[in-house]
Amino acid sequence: MACNGTGCQSGCYKDGTGDQDENSSTENKLAADANGVDKHRRHRMTCLKCKAVEATIFTGGDGGGRFCADCFRSNLYGKFKLAVTSNAMISPIDKVLVAFSGGTSSRVALQFVSEMQLKAQKNYDATANRDRSLPVFGVGVAFIDESEIHPVTSAVLDKAVEDIKQIVCSLPPPTKELHVAPISRIYSTKTSDGKQMLQNLMNSVGDATGKDDLLAHLRMLSLQKIAVENGYAKLVIGSCTSRIACHVLAATVKGQGYSLAADIQYADARWEVPVVLPLRDCPLQELNILCSLDSLKIVEIFNEPGAGINGLISSFVKILQEENPSRECTMVRTAGKLTPFPFNRIPEANVDDADLVSQRRQKKFNLKPIESLPPESFCPICNSPMSCYSNPELKPELFRAACCPSCQYQILPDESSSMYQFYSLLPESIIARAKNGNQKWIREKIQDCLLLDEEDEV
Amino acid sequence: MEESHGGDRTRSLLCSICNQRRPALKRPKTLQQICRECFYVVFEEEIHRVIVDNKLFKRGERIAIGASGGKDSTVLAYVMSELNRRHNYGLDLFLLSVDEGITGYRDDSLETVKRNEVQYGLPLKVVSYKDLYGWTMDEIVKMIGLKNNCTFCGVFRRQALDRGAALLKVDKLATGHNADDISETVLLNILRGDIARLSRCTSIITGEDGPIPRCKPFKYTYEKEIKLDYFSTECIYSPNAYRGFAREFIKDLERIRPRAILDIIKSGEDFRIATSTKMPEQGTCQRCGYISSQKWCKACVLLEGLNRGLPKLGIGRTRGVTGERQKDDQQIGVKNLQSKACGSLDF
Ligand SMILES: [Zn+2]
Ligand SMILES: [Zn+2]
Ligand SMILES: [Zn+2]
Ligand SMILES: [Zn+2]
Ligand SMILES: [Zn+2]
């Protein structure tokens, strides 16, 4: 193919020939159905991976995937593990925090991280010479209570928290600490009524999509706060391929084409605690299958469908995916070809020397210095990199100018007279981010990455 | 579900520009409610700014306006001739139409184009498939049947304007692609994974290194403002030329947030795409000289088949024979997503 003859980097074992195999894969499936009764039946219905056992799971994805339960599990876990190891997401001395919303994706992330930890523990226990073996990374779990914004009865909330405790207790050993925090915790303890300020802040946003996005930004702030306060080195977010595909469209539709590349990589070190997305290559459909296969419990709370444009995009992507089972993968792969930012990898300082194995396996980004020029500034609300420099001198009346155009439109008040009020409701961390501190801090991190690039070239 | 921004829900009593007449429409771009008279003024002035700011034309150039008889091209013909006169661009303008040779199909649209010729005082040139390829679509369909004709529709139509423009020795071709078309293309390129096209589909001028550059003066213009009524001509030979998902999605988006269309274009302009992934080297067809990444361009492959009485040549999904063939198959893969697949002849 002339235009983009590179294979799929996202580990979906598609050979990069584009959409054309979609048709043939559907045809194969139809052919398989039509020939279901003939003598080839047994051959056709065996698991694609082990070719020994009858396939019971049909993922419908690339090549019309069909697996036996064991191969399905190991294939899905394999995608997770490949993402973790090839991007140095978890190093043995790390303590990682898994964000758990109760939904399918983060439930699987939690399960897989625990399994990986258990394997590391077994390796450790089996090694005779303790001095030479790698330590085992630690795992914690965070659940953000959004009842201040999505009101639920206390009985419902208590039940959900109880279920989450049960889930965390039932994970394989070692024991994991669970952090449950109301979202208003982003306001410092000095603030007497964080809850009220939070509600006023949310109510000041008229745009349904903007409200939805602001909540997502605040959720990230909450998770970051828990991670920082408890000494976690990484924050694991369970965003799956489907979720990321929706984000690709959402960012495009909101005019965030420049910053999109930052959000969809495996690693995102623009935060104080780097964020990693180990389920980037796993479609939601497969995660759903795993949850029902292994009876992984889901907690349905606060995961309402997106509002406004976000809701429209989810339903559009859902239709696209039904019409073509590899559509989401193609979208994420396309966006994955956009040039990432220097902070889209785990800074080397975080990778322990002892972790040579993982370092060797690590596929380095080949960031060309010119292509990966750092952004000039970051939006204080959504933390999007911006290509133009914003005024670091911070006063409420200049706050608008420091934000990205998307936040200006859908989150900030239209009238400048309401700006003071809005500004006064923001949590300290956003104000601090706006006050140059964040930009300087990120610049230092980026500097590390850039220096490493130069070293790589030598 | 409409999002609330300012006081745009309330209906103003007077036009927000002249403050004299009653408003007739709300501009999607600015949400201003304005009267018809003021609309024409700002509409034309905006196109003028786009032309000047992007240096779309040079004095003395010979410009073909792609004329399909559709709303986009009719409005483009009007605005171009008007601005050329008003601002003294010094352009030699004419209308360029393609006649596919489908009985009855072009009659209406050619009538419209002929009316434009008189109304705007622009000369009209019609090039036919017969002139360009030696075959009319009716003859092709007779030869190959209805099943595969859309391969021909697509390939021949994509090249027809360029070939006609080359035949008439023009400097540039102006087409009526509007903001909705371009935002749809951005989305389709994301959906089909075409990063190379994604990187250039928002350019206001394309093919500057090729024989005939194309430009899109309506790049930032909402379809809603061009077509105050809906007009569509679907390919009568295509059994199911349904409107695509992507276009409907964009219309839904526009309903919730009108500026989303321009935001998509902005995203398309701002995507960080490495210069090395931009378009692959393009050579020219050894047979006809049209740009092609292969020895022969797709049209020549199809024509060879027709002329040798082997019309299936160049159709079908066999992989690995020519790269170009695969690209076209890829387009077929997303045919049902896009609205202007081969059906409507509104280019
Ligand atoms: Zn198997
Ligand atoms: Zn922002
Ligand atoms: Zn007026
Ligand atoms: Zn057709
Ligand atoms: Zn040719």
Q: What are phi and psi of B95, to 5 degrees?
A: -90, 135
Residue-level length of chain B: 347
Residue with the larger pLDDT of the pair B223 and A445? B223
Minimum mean pLDDT range among A138-142, A146-150, A272-276, B161-165: B161-165
pLDDT at B271: 95
A330/B187 touch (CB, cutoff 8 Å), yes or no = no
Ligand nearest to C-alpha B284: 5
* Residue listed under structure tokens 């690693």: A267
With a CB-CB cutoff of 8 Å, which residues 155-194 of chain B face chain A? 186-187, 189-194
pLDDT at A61: 62
- Could you tell me if the ipTM is greater than 0.95? no
Domain residue spans of chain A: 57-126+133-345+358-364, 377-448
Q: Is A254 on the interface with B (CB under 8 A)?
A: yes
Contacts of A1 in chain B (CB under 8 A): 323, 326-327, 330
Distance CA B126, CA B210 (A): 23
Nearest to A411 by CA among A385, A430, A435: A430
What is the A385 CA–ligand 2 centroid distance (Å)? 8
Name the residue type at position A330.
T
Residue with the larger pLDDT of the pair B46 and B210? B46
What is the A290 CA–ligand 1 centroid distance (Å)? 15
Q: How many CB pairs under 8 A join A and B?
A: 155
Task: Quick: pLDDT tens for A338-363.
Answer: 999 989 988 775 444 444 444 434 44
Task: Enumerate the H helices of A342-436 as residue ranges.
Answer: 356-361, 396-402, 405-410, 419-425, 428-434
pLDDT at B150 over 90: no
* Residue listed under structure tokens 């085992």: A136
What is the average per-residue pLDDT within A81-108? 95
pLDDT at A157 over 90: yes
Minimum mean pLDDT range among A19-28, A126-135, A141-150, B73-82: A19-28
With a CB-CB cutoff of 8 Å, which residues 221-280 of chain B face chain A? 245, 249, 252-253, 256-257, 259-260, 262-264, 266-275, 277, 279-280
Q: Residue A74, exposed/middle/buried by CB under 10 A (0-12, 13-18, 19+)?
A: middle
Question: B199: left (phi > 0), else alpha (psi -120 to 50), else beta?
Answer: alpha
pLDDT at A35: 43
A254/B271 touch (CB, cutoff 8 Å), yes or no = no
Helix (H) or strand (E) holding A97, with range, is strand A95-99
Task: Quick: pLDDT tens for B237-288.
Answer: 443 333 458 888 998 999 899 999 999 999 999 999 987 665 566 788 888 8
pLDDT at B118 over 80: yes
pLDDT at B113 over 70: yes
Nearest to B72 by CA among B98, B103, B109, B46: B109
Helix (H) or strand (E) holding B84, with range, is helix B71-86
Residue with the larger pLDDT of the pair B283 and A265? A265
Whether the model pTM is above 0.80: yes
CA distance B189 to chain A (A): 8
A19/B334 touch (CB, cutoff 8 Å), yes or no = yes
Nearest to A425 by CA among A208, A152, A218, A272: A218
What is the average per-residue pLDDT within A353-381? 52
What is the average per-residue pLDDT within A38-45? 55
What is the average per-residue pLDDT within A361-382? 57
Residue with the larger pLDDT of the pair A243 and B288? A243
Task: Quick: pLDDT tens for A407-441.
Answer: 999 999 988 888 889 999 999 889 888 776 445 55
According to the per-residue pLDDT averaged within each range, which of A215-229, A389-403, B234-248 is highest? Answer: A215-229
Task: Enumerate the H helices of B54-172 as residue ranges.
Answer: 71-86, 107-120, 129-133, 137-144, 149-167
Residue with the larger pLDDT of the pair A442 and A171? A171
pLDDT at B151: 73
- List the single best residue of B263, B282, B317 to mutate versus A (max A Cβ within 10 A): B263
Helix (H) or strand (E) holding B205, with range, is strand B205-206
Residue with the larger pLDDT of the pair B277 and A386? A386
Task: Quick: pLDDT tens for A55-87.
Answer: 889 887 655 788 999 999 999 999 999 999 999
> Could you say which of 3.40.50.620, 3.30.460.80, 3.40.640.10, 3.90.1150.10 is the CATH number of the domain covering A57-126+133-345+358-364?
3.40.50.620
The three-state secondary structure class of A180 is: strand
B187/A409 touch (CB, cutoff 8 Å), yes or no = no
Q: Which residues pair with A91 in a beta bridge?
A: none
Which residues fall within 8 angstroms of residue A179, CB to CB, at 6 or more apart?
Answer: A97, A140, A141, A142, A143, A226, A230
Q: What are phi and psi of A273, to 5 degrees?
A: -105, 115
Give me the percent of chain A exceeding a pLDDT of 90: 56
Contacts of B197 in chain A (CB under 8 A): 3
B5/A206 touch (CB, cutoff 8 Å), yes or no = yes
Q: Is B53 on the interface with A (CB under 8 A)?
A: no
B272/A339 touch (CB, cutoff 8 Å), yes or no = yes
